[in-house]
Amino acid sequence: MSAHQLHIDWTLCTASGACIELLPDLLTADDWGFPFSAAGTDVPIPGGSLDDARLAVRLCPRLALRLESAKRSPQ
Amino acid sequence: MSEPWEWPPEQLRAEIKASGLLGRGGAGFPVWRKWESMPARRLVGTSRRRVVIGNGAEGEPLSRKDAVLLQRDPHQVIDGLLVTAAAVHADELHLHLDEAAEATLSRALQQRPEASRIRLHRSAKSFVSGESSAVIGAIGGGPAFPTDRRLPASISGLRGHPTLVHNVETLSRISQIVRMGGNRFSLIGTPQDPGPHLLTVQRPGHRGAPVVLESTANASLVDVLFGAGIDPDSVSAVLLGGFHGRWTRMDESARKPFGRIPGAGVIVALAPQVCPLRYTATVTRWLANENAGQCGPCRFGLPDLATAVQELADFPRTAAIQDIQDIHRLMGQVSRRGACFHPTGTANLVASALQMFPDEVDAHLAGRCTATESIRESA
Ligand code: SF4
Ligand code: SF4
């Protein structure tokens, strides 16, 4: 289980797509260009993608992303 | 004897914990746990002010129970608000209401000096404005939209103060509990969902206005329909828990106790001549129009989902297998992708219709409709 998750604030995101390009293994574009992950709003980030996720947080033009420590990690 | 809001807070909290009361606004969260989530005043880093908000603005368009309660028993709601404020050491008290209830409540408040610190607020009527973060936003002077929550309201709510939001029926139950005793209250209904509940029963295709009645979680759907003056044999399908609820049929399960009352207690009983797929399509469209326009997947996804459901419902003109695939894809693209529960709740409603009415779906795909056929037969 990942220790980190990328939280998407949907009230801010305008589908610029920067995060989808930076995290192609974790996000795809939905029908309207918004970042899609089967996990929904809090996308688990494996250790190997942590740097890319940090970059996405910095490059999101709308400041819609934040990196959090995962709330529930199943034992 | 002193008034219950003058009792020691520990005693109030113990009574509510013993009662097992669940919130009556729809989410059904245990009230004592909500109270315990309010931080102690000493807690460093939180504001010292504590806020309690009573929410009487029914977002559910078919719900009438809170409106009826506020007209019939405004003082019980006020009592509950005072008790809650005492239990969690709150200094700021608000009531968020529809315009229709304002006059009654302001009259009731004028009769009581101890309630003069309660502030009334008129709600902006919409489905998502009843959501608790939207209520907090509206009272704080901002837009009545849900927000992307960084911190729970119990830590940082109204203007950053720890805030508790309760539905007005919850408040009236709190006042009942402190008067009758938590243990006695806990014996009513079921152990998972104790105490009486207000329900709103609607009957599309039947005659008459919605009925508000009191029941408990050990009643069955059949009991509730009889209680509302509806013959269960005249009902083909039932939507339990309002527009974010789930569909059921009048099979054996309708005779079993609910166990837990669904959602905010809205029950919609369809007559056989009303097509449940069409009804679902109408509700989905309505929900799509109610999105607050903030979150992309909700703003674009719900209208597209409503259109796909409409195509399926509009037999025999448009229904095609492709619509079913579209519906499934769109449900996956809106579920859990918004700042509030609205898109997920809407997708759940559609999923439940597909699951409960496979024969109707097949009929529509074959260019027929079981509901309109039943009209022709009876004509
Ligand atoms: S980079 Fe930001 S605005 Fe662009 S799609 Fe991602 S979250 Fe949305
Ligand atoms: S998910 Fe939909 S209804 Fe909820 S805040 Fe976002 S746009 Fe509004």
Say whether A29 sits in a helix, a strand or coil: strand
From first to last of its 379 residues, chain B has per-residue pLDDT tens of 689 999 999 999 999 999 999 999 988 999 999 999 988 776 666 667 899 999 998 878 889 999 999 999 999 999 999 999 999 999 999 999 988 899 999 999 999 998 989 999 988 766 666 677 788 888 887 666 777 766 678 777 887 888 999 999 999 999 999 999 999 999 999 999 999 999 999 987 766 789 999 999 999 999 999 999 999 999 999 999 999 999 999 999 999 999 999 999 999 999 988 999 999 999 999 999 987 788 999 999 999 999 999 999 986 666 677 888 989 999 999 999 999 889 999 999 999 999 999 999 988 888 888 776 654 444 3
> Is the same domain home to B33 and B132?
yes
Give me ligand 2 centre to Cα A10, in Å: 8
Q: Of B186, B216, B250, which residue is a domain's last?
A: B186
Residue from B337, B341, B342, B344 whose CB has the most chain A CBs within 10 Å, to mutate? B337
DSSP code string of B235-281: -SEEEESSTTSEEEESSGGGGSB-SS--TTSEEEEE-TTS-HHHHHH
Range of the domain at A24: 4-69
User: Ligand 2, residues B147, B291, B334: which to mutate, most atoms within 8 A of Cβ?
Assistant: B291
B191 falls within a domain: no
pLDDT number for residue B144:
67
> Is the same domain home to B155 and B207?
no
ipTM of the complex: 0.88
How far, in Å, are A62, A65, B116, B281 from residue B168 at the CA level? 38, 36, 18, 31
> Is the same domain home to B203 and B142?
no
Judging contacts by C-beta atoms under 8 Å, the chain A residues touching residue B333 are 30-31, 36
> How far apart are alpha carbons B191 and B185 in whole angstroms?
10
> How far apart are alpha carbons B270 and B279 in whole angstroms?
9
CATH number at residue B218: 3.10.20.600
pLDDT number for residue B317:
66
Residue A14: closest CA among chain B residues belongs to which residue?
B296
> Is the same domain home to B172 and B211?
no
Rg, C-alpha atoms of chain A: 11
Q: How many domains are there within chain A?
A: 1
Give yes or no for residue A72 having a pLDDT over 80.
Answer: no
Q: Whose CA is nearest to atom 3 of ligand 2?
A: B291
Q: Do A32 and B337 touch (CB under 8 A)?
A: no
Regarding the beta carbon of A27 and ligand 1, being less than 6 Å apart is answered no
Q: Do B148 and A15 touch (CB under 8 A)?
A: no
> Is the same domain home to B182 and B252?
no
Residue B151: count other Cβ atoms within 10 Å of its Cβ.
11
User: Ligand 1, residues A55, A62, A63, A66: which to mutate, most atoms within 8 A of Cβ?
Assistant: A62
CATH number at residue A29: 3.30.70.20
Distance from the Cα of A28 to chain B's closest Cα (Å) equals: 11
pLDDT number for residue B307:
94
- Give the model confidence (pLDDT) of A6-41 as tens digits: 999 999 999 999 999 999 999 999 999 999 999 999
A63 falls within a domain: yes
> How far apart are alpha carbons B164 and B141 in whole angstroms?
17
Its pTM stands at 0.88
> How far apart are alpha carbons A43 and A38 in whole angstroms?
8
- Look up residue B126 and give its two tokens: 């919409």
pLDDT number for residue B129:
65
Q: Do B335 and A40 touch (CB under 8 A)?
A: yes
Which ligand number lies closest to the CA of residue B338? Answer: 2
> Is the same domain home to B94 and B203?
no
> Is the same domain home to B160 and B224?
no
CATH number at residue B293: 1.20.1440.230
pLDDT number for residue A74:
36
Q: How many domains are there within chain B?
A: 3
- Residues B241 and B263: beta-carbon distance below 8 Å: yes
Residue carrying structure tokens 């302001």 = B106
> Is the same domain home to B84 and B171?
yes
> Is the same domain home to B299 and B165?
no
- Residues B138 and B144: beta-carbon distance below 8 Å: yes
B144 falls within a domain: yes
Q: Do A11 and B148 touch (CB under 8 A)?
A: yes
Range of the domain at B77: 4-186
pLDDT number for residue A73:
39
> How far apart are alpha carbons A54 and B184 in whole angstroms?
55
Give the model's confidence band at A1: pLDDT under 50 very low, under 70 low, under 90 confident, else very high.
Answer: low
Give me ligand 2 centre to Cα B315, in Å: 30
Q: Could you tell me which residues come within 8 angstroms of residue A69 by beta carbon, excluding any fewer than 6 positions away?
A: A3, A4, A5
Q: Whose CA is nearest to atom 4 of ligand 1?
A: A16
Which protein residues are within 6 Å of ligand 2, measured from CB?
A 10; B 128, 145-146, 291-295, 298-299, 338-340, 342-343
A23 falls within a domain: yes
pLDDT number for residue B374:
53
Atom of ligand 2 nearest to the CA of B293: 7
Cis, bond preceding B316 (omega within 30 deg of 0): yes
